[in-house]
Copies of this chain bind each other. A is one copy, B any other.
Amino acid sequence: MTSPELPGLLPELEVVRKDFPILERVLAGGVPLVYLDSANTSQKPQVVIDAMVDHLERHNANIARAMHQLGAESTVAFEAARDKVAAFIGAPERDEVIFTKNASEALNLAANTLAWAGDRQVGPGDEVVITEMEHHSNIVPWQLLTQRSGATLRWFGITDDGHLDLSTIDDLITERTKVVAVTWVSNMLGTINPIAEIARRAHQVGALVVVDASQAAPQLPIDLAAMPEDERPDLMAFTGHKVVGPTGIGVLWGRRAVLDQLPPFLGGGEMIETVRMDGSTYAPIPHKFEAGTPPIVEAIGLGAAVEYLGHLGMDAVHAHEQAITAYALDGLATVPGLTILGPTDAALRGGAIAFEIDGVHPHDIAQVLDSRGVAVRAGHHCAKPAHARFGVQSSTRMSSYLYTTPAEIDALVDGLEYTRSYFKLA
C-alpha cells in the first residue's frame, strides 16, 4: 500500500510493518488484511514471537525454585522482563511491577484484596468512585467489592461530547471515598481523561487512585517516576496483548507502600515466606502477589514487546497514532449518516473511534467490511454503560496502531461507502 505523506507517521512505516508477519495475511476471496481492531488486541512483531520460541526451545524451566542452569536462565529472563516493564512505565521501583494474567486480573487483584482485613479495607459507609466510561473490567470488580463489603459505588457521568463530567467532582470525591478507579484512555470513546487532576483531588481525601492504563500504555509515553507524587496513581493496570505482547500476561504496578498494605490475593507457590499447617507468612512484593507458576514465557514475550516499543520510541508511536486518528476522523466525516461517539479532536483522544451509521446495524457494517478484509469490532466493546449513556446498544469501532497506514483508513472509508450502498441507503 502506498501511503499519503502525513506528518507524524512513523518513519519507515513499511519497514516497521514487515516486523508483523500477520500483516501479510490474505483473507477469504484473496483480499489482504486491513487490521483495524488493535484496541481489542494488537498484532505481534516477529521479535516477540522469536523471544518466546527461543525460550521454549532452549531455556524452558520453572523459575525461582530451580537451581540448575535452565532454571537460572529462565529466572534471569523472567526477572529481566520485569526490569523492561518497569523501564517502560518509569516505575519508581522494579519490584513494584506485579505480573498478572491480564489487566482484568490486575484490577480484580486490587478490588478483591481491598475487601479483606488490612489497612485499606473497604467497608460499610465507605465509597468507591468509578466512571460511566469504564471497561467492564473496571466496573464489575468494584460492583463486587461494594456489594460484598457493604460500601457504596458512585460514578462520574459523561458529557455529550464524550468527556468525563468533572463538575460533580467535589460532590463525588469526599472524605468517605476510599478508592477512585478511572480509565486513562477510554476504549470506546477514545477520550483521554485528566487523571492527574482526579488523582490530586482523590489524594486530598486520602483515597486510593487506581488507573486502568489498558488503552493508555499502548499509545502514550508513561513515566510514573516523573509524575508529581500527588498526581501519580497508587495502582495502575495494563495488559500485555495490547502492547504487541502475548495474551496471558498483564501488569499491576503499585506504589510499594500500598502493595505492602494489601493482604495477599491468591495463595500458593512462591508467594510465601514460610508455610505451616496452622498458618503462613508471605514473601515481599512482587512475589507476594504472584501465586503459582507465573506466565513465564508470556512475561518474556512482554519484555521483548515493550523493548520493541521502546526502540520505536513511545513519543513516535503516540505521534503516529495521533496522525492516523486525525486522518481517520477526517475520512469518517465524509461518510453520510455517520456519527462519531466521543471527542472529535485527535489531540484529545486515543486511537479507538466508535461510530454509528444511520440505518445500518454495527454487526452488518462489520460484516460487509469483513468481506473486504477490513477487520473492525462491532458490539458494546465491554462498555455497556457508556453505550447506554449515548442511548445506543452497540457501535462499530475502528482502532489503529503503530502499523496502521493511511491507505488502510482509506480502505475503511471506501468499505463504509460500499456498506451504505449495499444496504441501499440514499
List residues of A whose CB falls within 8 A of some B CB: 21-22, 25, 27-28, 33, 35, 37, 40-41, 43-44, 48-49, 52-53, 56-62, 65-71, 101-105, 107-108, 111-112, 116-117, 132, 135-141, 143-144, 148, 153, 155, 239, 241, 246-250, 264, 266-272, 274-280, 291-298, 363, 366-367, 369-370, 374-379, 381-382, 384-385, 388
Contacts beyond the supplied A69-B375, A139-B275, A143-B267: 11 A-B pairs with Cβ under 8 Å = A21-B57, A40-B61, A65-B382, A66-B375, A67-B366, A104-B291, A104-B292, A137-B292, A141-B268, A247-B295, A298-B298
Q: How far is the CA of A414 from the CA of B413 in the complex (A)?
A: 70
Contact among B108, B112, B388 with A276 in the assembled complex (CB-CB below 8 Å): B388
Q: How far is the CA of A52 from the CA of B241 in the complex (A)?
A: 14
* Least distance between A223 CB and chain B CB atoms (Å): 26
A33 neighbours in B (Cβ, 8 Å): 70
* Beta-carbon contact of B60 and A43 below 8 Å: yes
* Beta-carbon contact of B363 and A275 below 8 Å: no
Can you list 8 pairs linking A and B with CB atoms under 8 Å apart? A37-B66, A48-B56, A104-B266, A135-B268, A136-B269, A144-B267, A247-B248, A247-B295
A139 nearest in chain B by CB position: B275
A108 neighbours in B (Cβ, 8 Å): 266-268, 291
* Beta-carbon contact of A277 and B132 below 8 Å: yes
A384 neighbours in B (Cβ, 8 Å): 272, 274-276
Q: How far is the CA of A52 from the CA of B382 in the complex (A)?
A: 26
Contact among B62, B112, B239, B385 with A40 in the assembled complex (CB-CB below 8 Å): B62
A22 neighbours in B (Cβ, 8 Å): 56-60, 70
* Beta-carbon contact of B49 and A56 below 8 Å: yes
Of A27, A62, A292, most B-chain CB atoms within 10 Å: A292
A296 neighbours in B (Cβ, 8 Å): 241, 247-248
Q: How far is the CA of A272 from the CA of B381 in the complex (A)?
A: 12
Contact among B102, B267, B291, B381 with A293 in the assembled complex (CB-CB below 8 Å): B102
Q: How far is the CA of A68 from the CA of B155 in the complex (A)?
A: 33
Q: How far is the CA of A261 from the CA of B248 in the complex (A)?
A: 27
Q: How far is the CA of A53 from the CA of B297 in the complex (A)?
A: 13
A108-B267, A276-B384, A388-B276 known; A377+B66 contact, CB < 8 A: yes
Q: How far is the CA of A388 from the CA of B295 in the complex (A)?
A: 29
* Beta-carbon contact of A271 and B53 below 8 Å: no
* Least distance between A58 CB and chain B CB atoms (Å): 6
Q: How far is the CA of A143 from the CA of B33 in the complex (A)?
A: 51
* Least distance between A215 CB and chain B CB atoms (Å): 13
Q: How far is the CA of A375 from the CA of B132 in the complex (A)?
A: 53
A270 neighbours in B (Cβ, 8 Å): 382
Q: How far is the CA of A27 from the CA of B246 in the complex (A)?
A: 29
* Beta-carbon contact of A138 and B268 below 8 Å: yes
* Beta-carbon contact of A385 and B277 below 8 Å: yes
A292 neighbours in B (Cβ, 8 Å): 101-105, 137, 239, 250
Contact among B70, B104, B248 with A248 in the assembled complex (CB-CB below 8 Å): B248
Q: How far is the CA of A384 from the CA of B65 in the complex (A)?
A: 13
Contact among B61, B153, B272, B374 with A41 in the assembled complex (CB-CB below 8 Å): B61
